[in-house]
């Protein structure tokens, strides 16, 4: 690994410094930050390039020892919708190339771009710098469009074509799961030798059960810290509030549960932790209004995104975390929850089929009918012994995912890509 000293990581549309759970910040932000920190711990410097969105941001900020965030001026100094960002890619790419040009040739050994917009800039830098490009899609337009939620906006043709260009030009494509790897091969005709599967991780020092060695001995302490009643059954949703993530399914399922068992009105609390994102930004109160229309507003508590230490308490405080997404490349929320000893009820889509052990650490639900979720949730809440067993299994399953393993696997792929590039250059 002595030949790999410095990596340029590109994340155009969302900054690694942004709070996950609001705007466009989510699991990808967590992935980039956690991997960069662990690369630095292994002696590899990481420069994270992102678009500047405020005049108050410094040109360069230290995220951690060995990890710098570089804010590139490209377009207005404000947040832009992702649909507006393709128009700023020339400016962003120019800023990226100027940064490298200020150093001696060979300053960066490899580029790792995240999301298709970053791949466009990564492709240009790869050609100019003569280094390999490793790319992580995180989500795929063709997959999202095939599972579009009601009220959501289809991904445009420009993104589909842009993703295809990245697939055709990258030295390596990183898939979060075997399912995503298959989608890259079948939907985008990716070379099987080009696709590598690397499971994301979870911070196992933060996301842990309430007490070491026990899955879920008590909700009391976490609930006390969060100001939650100790005697309620708590269902939790964590994530960006947008149709893709389907938080409305949980609200509708709650109404169906109460209709079936009225006694739950005084026993059940639903916590929604997250902020508006994507098409949800244009209707920020839609979920609140839905809860009111269905007559369950008194049972639902809405909370803004929060730091990871507090988020871990939300997982510990919950009886079940619900992840009803229409599409997920992995499902980091599901793994974080399980690592805290909280079982997951999730949609049987994408990476969630890897993140959750169906029937063991949680339950996978086919489709997005609220009645189906209501039935599964009621069955679990009415079977406390089964729920306790699932909690123990969830903690074991979640503990198998660590960022150290993710970073080590990526370093193997980086080394192969750098070695192949060097051999091609000397041929």
Q: Is 155 annotated as a binding-site member?
A: no
82 annotated among ligand-binding-site residues: yes
Q: Is 42 labelled a binding residue?
A: no
- The overall longest dimension of the chain from CA atoms, in Å, is 74
28: annotated binding-site residue?
Answer: yes
- Structure-block tokens of residue 367: 């489709």
Q: Is 328 annotated as a binding residue?
A: yes
- Count of Cβ atoms closer than 10 Å to residue 107 Cβ: 17
Is 301 assigned a ligand-binding role in the annotation? no
**Residues whose CB falls within 8 Å of the CB of residue 87, separated by 6 or more in sequence, listed in order:** 75
Residues 6+ apart with CB under 8 A from 17: 50, 61, 63, 69
Q: Is 240 annotated as a binding residue?
A: yes
**CA nearest 183: which of 232, 140, 132, 145?**
140
Q: Which two tokens stand for residue 424?
A: 């091609």
For 192, 350, 362, the CA distances from 353, given in Å and listed in that order, are: 22, 6, 11
Tell whether 315 is in a known binding site.
Answer: yes
Helix, coil or strand: residue 198: coil
CB contact set of 128 (below 8 Å; sequence gap of 6+): 97, 100
- Whole-angstrom CA distances from 64 to 40, 46, 108, 311, 315 are 8, 10, 19, 21, 26
What sign results for the dihedral spanned by CA atoms 62, 36, 353, 164?
positive
Cβ pair 329, 351 in contact under 8 A? yes
Q: Is 368 annotated for ligand binding?
A: no
Task: Say whether 13 counts as a known binding-site residue.
Answer: yes
Task: Tell me whether residue 370 is annotated as binding.
Answer: no
Torsion of CA 271, 378, 318, 323, to 10 degrees: -70
CA pair distance 268, 381, nearest whole angstrom? 10
Is 342 annotated among the ligand-binding residues?
yes
Q: Is 20 labelled a binding residue?
A: yes
Q: Is 139 annotated as a binding residue?
A: yes
Question: Encoding tokens for residue 91?
Answer: 């400016």
Q: Does 26 show up as a binding residue in the annotation?
A: yes
Q: Which residues pair with 345 in a beta bridge?
A: 322, 363
Q: Is 151 marked within a binding site?
A: no
Contacts 24+ apart (CB under 8 A), 286-290: 286/248, 287/241, 287/247, 287/248, 287/251, 290/248, 290/251, 290/252
154 is in an annotated binding site: no
Q: Is 318 annotated as a binding residue?
A: yes
- Does 308 appear as a known binding residue? no
Instruction: Say which residue the tokens 């039935």 belong to.
Output: 375
**Can you say which residues are annotated as belonging to the binding site for UDP-N-acetyl-alpha-D-glucosamine?**
19-20, 27, 240, 245, 328, 336
Annotated binding site for 1D-myo-inositol 3-phosphate: 13, 24-29, 82, 115, 139, 159
Binding site listing:
13, 19-20, 24-29, 82, 115, 139, 159, 240, 245, 315-316, 318, 328, 336, 342
| Residues making up the binding site for Mg(2+) | 315-316, 318, 342
């Amino acid at each position: 690994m002595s030949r790999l000293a410095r990596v340029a990581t590109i994340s155009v549309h969302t900054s690694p410094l942004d709070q996950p759970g609001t705007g466009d910040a989510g699991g990808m932000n967590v992935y980039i930050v956690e991997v960069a920190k662990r690369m630095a711990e292994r002696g590899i410097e990481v420069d994270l390039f992102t678009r500047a969105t405020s005049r108050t941001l410094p040109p360069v900020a230290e995220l951690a020892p060995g990890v710098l965030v570089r804010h590139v001026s490209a377009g207005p100094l404000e947040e832009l919708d992702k649909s507006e960002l393709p128009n700023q890619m020339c400016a962003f790419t120019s800023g990226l190339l100027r940064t490298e040009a200020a150093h001696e040739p060979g300053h960066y050994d490899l580029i790792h771009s995240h999301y298709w917009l970053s791949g466009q800039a990564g492709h240009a830098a790869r050609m100019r710098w003569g280094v390999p490009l490793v790319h992580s899609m995180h989500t795929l337009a063709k997959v999202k469009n095939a599972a579009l939620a009601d009220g959501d906006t289809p991904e445009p043709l420009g993104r589909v074509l842009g993703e295809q260009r990245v697939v055709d030009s990258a030295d390596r494509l990183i898939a979060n799961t075997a399912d995503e790897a298959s989608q890259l091969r079948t939907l985008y005709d990716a070379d099987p030798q080009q696709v590598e599967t690397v499971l994301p991780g979870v911070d196992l020092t933060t996301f842990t059960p309430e007490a070491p060695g026990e899955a879920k001995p008590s909700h009391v302490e976490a609930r006390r810290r969060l100001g939650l009643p100790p005697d309620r059954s708590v269902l939790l949703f964590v994530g960006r509030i947008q149709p893709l993530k389907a938080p409305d399914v949980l609200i509708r399922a709650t109404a169906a549960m109460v209709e079936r068992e009225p006694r739950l009105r005084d026993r059940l609390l639903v916590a929604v932790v997250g902020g508006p994102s994507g098409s949800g930004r244009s209707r920020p109160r839609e979920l609140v209004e839905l809860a009111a229309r269905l007559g369950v507003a008194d049972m639902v508590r809405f909370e803004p995104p929060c730091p990871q230490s507090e988020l871990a308490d939300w997982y510990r405080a919950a009886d079940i975390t619900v992840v009803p997404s229409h599409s997920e490349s992995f499902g980091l929320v599901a793994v974080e929850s399980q690592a805290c000893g909280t079982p997951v009820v999730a949609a049987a889509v994408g990476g969630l089929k890897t993140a959750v052990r169906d029937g063991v650490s949680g339950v996978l639900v086919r489709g997005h009918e609220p009645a189906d979720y209501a039935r599964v949730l009621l069955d679990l809440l009415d079977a406390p012994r089964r729920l306790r067993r699932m909690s123990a299994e969830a903690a074991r399953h979640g503990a198998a995912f660590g960022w150290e393993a993710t970073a080590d696997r990526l370093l193997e792929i980086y080394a192969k890509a750098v070695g192949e590039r060097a051999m091609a250059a000397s041929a």
